[in-house]
Structure 1
């Protein structure tokens, strides 16, 4: 092997120093490269140097493409140091008579350095002086041609891209070309259909060199590691360059676990819920603080429809590509919200190669579900693309008399008239019909606390099925426009309109448990027709430039959010009590107690900036700030009765990242948030926004040749200006409350070996009341375990007679949690075990998912002082999927 390395290195030096040979190659019309070598050996040489087809390689595996720019009388290492970073503005995949060609669109492909290797059945090329500028994040295309499983282009770090082409049965043959009009072109030929691979008889095996066996790795859609995100900075940034915790759960995990709700997905991050695990509202606890739907983003825009009182519903996951979670204050980028963080639902986007998927599910409690996912080009030039996701679900529940029926579809169209301009228009429609309006839960006495009457059956329904009816229609429509003025300046404009329509609705709600510990008091709410609408708009400019030795990536933007609820009306009337041990339904409602009718409106204007500075290649700084101007009004349809409040707030952010070696990032950050509070104190002074302040330090690293990522974070997060009871007048509030959360978090995600994926998290959280006029100082925060952990891992057999068979195992632990801020009762700890069996062969997939495998009775959340919510019992779900 040393002999061949010396031959190639000598040829490289001769070419650089021999002017005649260099001139002959420079004048050549073909600049095709092809070099075959083992993955264990890589030698860089100039693509102007040799006709590599004339070199007899002793190696039998895949093609490796190695290039440096033309530099007379210099060596490749020096050329790399002097070459500027090039921008890759687009990725195209076209069909050829041999297979496909992958085009990295860039203005000067001759200045790109490419080194290649193979792993399993994948060809991997790293471009060491390039940055990817795609608004949607990484590029990924499934099954672009027969014999090719997928094509992925993603950043490795701020100055390196990685192209991965995976063959279905063997590593493909890859040839490299320069296109004067488009960029760098990789010609890909599936190994099963080509004769270009050398045969064993044509190869000379080095002494003691082991045979190379190409393995079929896990299916192409099973990547658990997402190396870069947009949620942490609003720009596509490698996760290890973000000085704050960002965790991502990709589509592969959602499908492997057969998740149906946001709470199911976030459980993989050790994040718990504080309400009933029915398919209704979404509310989770991050770092000790409630993160309701007001902290929900959709493709980077605020989307808090599910937080509307009286209209809870679950987001459908059919068109969700991944969920990104930014932990800690996020107001600098996204405005008003909880200090715990935000979660961003990133939707599926159109692909340039046709892909079709049909899926059917059946499961426990009369679950029937079907879905489709179609995508591809609408025109021959592939400038107009589409994607269409749809599903239908009909299911019951472990809770008696609870059911749900949902219909959902989401079309997306992308038009790209040129490589610098792209417009994506999307829409969604959800129709949900269910028996339960809001999570009801069960009394703490008789579930987690003793009751002389015995345990309350956990499937008891305390509402009234003859009265409870809920129907919700949800719609979304929006667009995203992107334009590159140059290689360094880009404009992004996004808009979203979303609405919820709910007709006349009734709901019976429990209030308290009487002294006999079996009679539950109830009332009935009758909701009038209600409409909720959200308008979200964001416009920002991203520019890259230098000032002296500093490299800047500047972000300047403005966003606007409006929320209107009109009308918001309901009446409350008495309703007969119920014996929780012997419920009788269908009773006659009583007298009207009161009601409400008004119109609500919120307007929020934000102006923000951010500068990502590279002080040195291994030292980065993030500076940011945002000014918010928010106004909230409540009109009671009486012109003389208007409640209005305006607030403004400035939210800063500062972070630093130091990389002692490329795979390791040490970081520290400071950030603040604000949350609007409506109301006045005893002196009629409007309440100030609550403020969140966080200090965080940590380390991020990429292991196993960038296949596995890990993050360790330590933080202190404080929320101040919390409204608590005024000791001088209990009918008013005063903003002196303060709560603090301190913790340690550990997170792993990625691939341990071919076909073996893992996502795991551990959270230690010490959340307490540190100042209050009502609750005792030192009281633990509700629904916040001191320790929580999650582990989910899957393995698909990569070769042999059992190829395609596999399984998954998940263990989720949540420690003891307090049911209220007075700490009067504790939700006990629990361990839930999930499992799955898989079979995947070509276009066919089958799965059997088991949730709560050992049927553990546990309570995952509490609400107010008298309601706790049981977790799901044992459930099984079967899935069949066909994709083309």
Structure 2
């Protein structure tokens, strides 16, 4: 496939067409919260501005009531329509369709995410959250409870503060709709994939309303021995106490039980340096491997509108994660002729993770020097406590068995007795923050967004023999400028930061200063076809500084005595194009292209795809009422990873071993027919070209993505 190039046509597309108005309202199926043209009362409007791929506003970028075109950062939204059209029922599949995001599937049940060359660790629910505990996500988390997914690329210093200058992913939960409704879905697909989903709203009276979602899904997989059993339940109850005050209580429950999951993945090269090439179904798991993850999240929210367009919002969230696993890892380098040379490694791993999150802010409009401006100020508190433990079998001989050729491996190995070598963690992290942001209307069509966030971050405890005690404070500034060149076109520039505390010590036994990330971005955004299409072009320059690297003066010392220095870290520069909405009557699309270069770490630069193309499009046939077709595609350029050198005794002894994954594209297709307003059916075909590819080179191991597969879904609504 040819690499997508930025052409003058792309730039012209952003500038050429005319619209009549700015974005009118927040495009949320469940809440378009307020039209306050009259300063006397609050009017709540419910509905969808456009039922397609164009969202008009996001809530996770600043807490200000802004249209996407008025936010001086790259923003995209995976809408409810896109999730439904392509059956993006797990968050990995959903995020894979977002502009600029790369999903690193290192194992069946553990996933990393990157954007612009940096790990994405900031995941929020309705605008609040903490970085992922271990920098990655576990289990098959479902999208059924979410109305949309917002992706704010670059550092989001105002709302997160701690983390990498990559992106923030904000999951917006479903809330009660304007009237009673019920939707039932049943689907069946390849690998015995069976899924049932119910989603309903009940308007109890003028005060109370509720929405509930329930999902059960059981499926096998293309991988040997791997299967999952997932159950989801979600309940959201709201009470409109007065015209100005609302209170809500919600709870979500996800239980994902995986059998035959891998821990680690396939070896990618033989001892002679040549590449392995296993069947796609090859799995390193034992037949007793399992990974059960249970997640609970309870959220209490209070919202109150004051006179003169001011609003108070308070949120408290309590999240828990309980993981129980019995895992089997395969390590070593196999011989090309025999396939022998690898060793098994059994472990029992348990995790108990608790998050308490609180956020309180007030925002509103005020007048100064004859012009109206906006301001938001708030405080945030987050506490994370996690304990985990690992057990091994060092005595029976079953804990570290010699492996046969993986091409013949059937998972049959005696289950170890996990009672040896107890190791683990007991860590507590706490973050306190205060933030303020103003959007100032300096002159006609010129707005400046300026503010900052003060973060106090501390951690204490121990993890696998390493002390985790660290404490730091940082003020994170934010500055953005938006100028409306013409009614349909804006230009913007922004600067923001993140920081990440470090526990490593320098040669004087002092903790290193935090890793600091800086994100600079300039771009243009255009609202086309009377606001039905939003297009943007952005150039970004990201720097991460003071990253801990071993001090060469202590390299000969044991690991516990080595010390570190702050290095320049990684930088990336590049551009993104994002187009979302109705390109033509009946044709909805979300199109994204990212192209960037990484400097400062050759390994990261090699295994990170720096050209990404995403396309999701559906077309509603006017001639056949209710019939539509669509395509969902993602493409990435080639990646590689150096794996050491060929050992002595081989023809290419001393040569560097390089694992390569050539550029590839995955194409999914869909077709659906709506028989009437109540009944519809859809068919989805994934990876229709049956492309064989490694899911990631983030680690030195890897496994292959799913072959061509299919599903059919029946939907009934009332």
Cα gap change, 1:497 to 1:153, in 2 (>3 Å) = closer
Contact 1:549–1:615 (CA under 8 A) maintained in structure 2? no
Q: Offset at 1:585?
A: 3.2
Question: d(CA) in 2 for partners of 1:844 and 1:584?
Answer: 44
Q: Return the alpha-carbon distance in structure 1 between the equivalents of residues 368 and 688 of structure 2.
A: 59
Residue 231 to residue 153, structure 1, CA distance change in 2 (3 Å): closer
Mapped partners of 1:857, 1:763: distance in 2: 23
Cα deviation 1:635-658 (Å, max 9, x = unaligned): 4799xx964211111211111000
Match of 2:540 in 1: 715
Aligned to 2:81: 252
Aligned pairs for 1:408-557 within 5 A: 408-436=232-260, 439-445=263-269, 450-451=274-275, 455-466=277-288, 468-503=289-324, 505-515=325-335, 518-528=340-350, 530-557=351-378
Unaligned runs of 5+ in 1: 1-125, 142-151, 162-177, 189-218, 770-774
1:818, distance to aligned residue in structure 2 (A) = 3.1
Please show how residues 727-876 of structure 1 align to structure 2 within 5 Å: 727-730=552-555, 731=559, 732=562, 733-769=564-600, 781-798=605-622, 800=623, 802-819=624-641, 824-840=658-674, 841-865=676-700, 867-876=701-710
The residue that corresponds to 1:284 in the other structure is: 113
**Equivalent residue number for residue 4 of structure 1:** none
Residue 216 (structure 2) aligned to one of 371, 374, 392 = 392
Assess if the C-alpha contact under 8 Å between 1:611 and 1:624 holds in 2. Answer: yes
Query: Are 1:581 and 2:415 an aligned pair?
Result: no
How far did 1:330 drift? 1.3
Query: What SS class does the counterpart of residue 869 from structure 1 fall into?
Result: coil
Per-residue CA deviations over 1:15-44 (Å, capped at 9, x if unaligned) read xxxxxxxxxxxxxxxxxxxxxxxxxxxxxx
Cα pair 2:504 2:548 within 8 Å, conserved: no
Match of 1:617 among 431, 441, 444: 444
Q: Find the aligned partners of 2:633 and 2:283 in 1 and give their Cα distance.
A: 29
Query: Does residue 227 of structure 2 align to residue 403 of structure 1?
Result: yes
Q: Equivalences for 1:555-570 in 2 at 5 Å? A: 555-570=376-391
1:362-383: CA deviation from partner (whole Å, max 9, x where unpaired): 001110000000003111x2x2
**Counterpart contact for 1:742–1:767, Cα < 8 Å:** yes
Alignment counterpart, residue 689 of structure 1, candidates 514, 518, 540: 514
What is the rounded CA distance, in whole Å, between the counterparts of 1:834 and 1:322 in structure 2? 20
Distance 1:402 1:491, change over 3 A: same
SS at match of 2:53: coil
Distance 1:283 1:780, change over 3 A: closer
In 2 relative to 1, CA 785–184 (structure 1 residues): closer, same or farther, beyond 3 Å? closer
Mapped contact 2:331–2:342 kept (Cα < 8 A): yes
CA RMSD of aligned residues (A): 3.2
Q: Which moved more, 1:250-259 or 1:517-526?
A: 517-526
| Structure number with larger C-alpha Rg | 1
Q: Decide whether the 8 Å contact of 1:273 with 1:783 is kept in 2.
A: no
Q: Name the CA distance, whole Å, in 2 between partners of 1:183 and 1:606.
A: 32
Shift of residue 668, structure 1, vs aligned partner: 0.6
Q: Distance in 2 between matches of 1:424 and 1:552?
A: 29
Shift of 1:332: 2.4
Gap change, CA 1:264 and 1:439, over 3 Å in 2: farther
Measured in 1, the distance between the counterparts of 2:214 and 2:636 equals 34
Equivalences for 1:133-282 in 2 at 5 Å?
Answer: 137-138=26-27, 140=29, 222-268=51-97, 269-276=99-106, 278=108, 280-282=109-111
What secondary structure does 1:781 align onto? Answer: helix
Find the residue that maps to 1:728 and give its secondary structure.
helix
Classify the secondary structure of the residue corresponding to 2:96: helix
Q: Who is 1:606 aligned against?
A: 433
Deviation string 1:356-402 (CA, Å, 9 cap, x unpaired) is: 100001001110000000003111x2x21110011000011111111
Contact 1:306 1:314 in 2 (8 A): no
Distance 2:326 2:591 in 1: 42
In the alignment, the residues of structure 2 paired with residue 537 and residue 571 of structure 1 have an alpha-carbon distance, to the nearest angstrom, of 38
Query: Which residue, out of 352, 360, 367, partners 2:193?
Result: 367
- TM-score normalised by length of structure 2: 0.87
Partners of 1:821 and 1:719 lie apart in 2 by 26
Query: How far apart, in 2, do the equivalents of 1:688 and 1:424 lie?
Result: 41
- Shift of the 590–482 alpha-carbon distance from structure 1 to 2, 3 Å rule, reads closer
Equivalent of 1:658 in 477, 483, 487: 483
Tell whether the 8 Å contact from 1:499 to 1:531 is kept in structure 2 after alignment.
yes
CA apart distance, 1:861: 1.0
Q: Is the 8 A contact 1:723 1:737 kept in 2?
A: no
Distance 1:838 1:444, change over 3 A: same
CA contact (8 A) 2:391 2:420 kept: no
Secondary structure class of the residue paired with 2:246: strand
Q: Deviations over 1:426-461 (max 9, x none)?
A: 10111111125565322222799834xx62222111
Report which structure shows greater RCO (CA 8 Å, sep ≥6).
2
Q: Does the CA-based 8 Å contact 1:324-1:343 persist in structure 2?
A: yes
Q: SS of the counterpart of 1:254? A: helix
Whole-angstrom CA distance in 2 between matches of 1:139 and 1:643: 41
Count of residues in correspondence between the two structures: 672
Q: Matches of 1:447 and 1:834 in 2, distance apart?
A: 37
Alignment-derived partner of residue 335 in structure 1: 161
Q: Equivalent residue for 1:669?
A: 494
Residue 302 of structure 1: which of 118, 121, 129 is its match? 129
Deviation, structure 1 residue 566: 2.8
Q: Deviations over 1:648-687 (max 9, x none)?
A: 1121111100001111110011111112223323322113
Q: Which runs of 5+ in 2 are unaligned?
A: 1-19, 645-656
Q: What pairs with 1:77-116 in structure 2 (closer than 5 Å)?
A: none
For each residue in 1:67-95, what CA deviation from the matched residue of structure 2 results, as whole angstroms up to 9, or x when unmatched? xxxxxxxxxxxxxxxxxxxxxxxxxxxxx
Change (3 A) 1:449 1:493: farther
Kept in 2: contact 1:625–1:650 (CA 8 A): yes
Question: Residues 527 and 571 of structure 1 are in contact (CA less than 8 Å); yes or no, is this contact kept in structure 2?
Answer: no
Report the CA distance between 1:755 and its aligned residue: 2.1
Question: What are the superposed Cα offsets for residues 495-541 of structure 1, whole Å, 9 maximum, x if unpaired?
Answer: 100101234x310112222455543223111224x321011110111
Secondary structure of the 1:240 match is helix
How far residue 868 of structure 1 moved from its aligned partner, in angstroms, is: 1.9
Q: CA offset at residue 413 of structure 1?
A: 0.6
Distance 1:439 1:612, change over 3 A: farther
- Whether the aligned pair in 1 keeps the contact of 2:619 and 2:629 (CA below 8 Å) is yes
Q: CA deviation at 1:283?
A: 2.0
Pair 336,702 (structure 1): closer, same or farther in 2 beyond 3 Å: same
CA separation of 1:315/1:303 partners in 2, compared to 1, >3 Å: closer, same or farther?
farther
C-alpha separation between the residues in 2 aligned to 1:811 and 1:250?
Answer: 16
Change beyond 3 A, Cα 1:450–1:637: closer
Q: Which of 267-276 and 739-748 deviates more?
A: 267-276
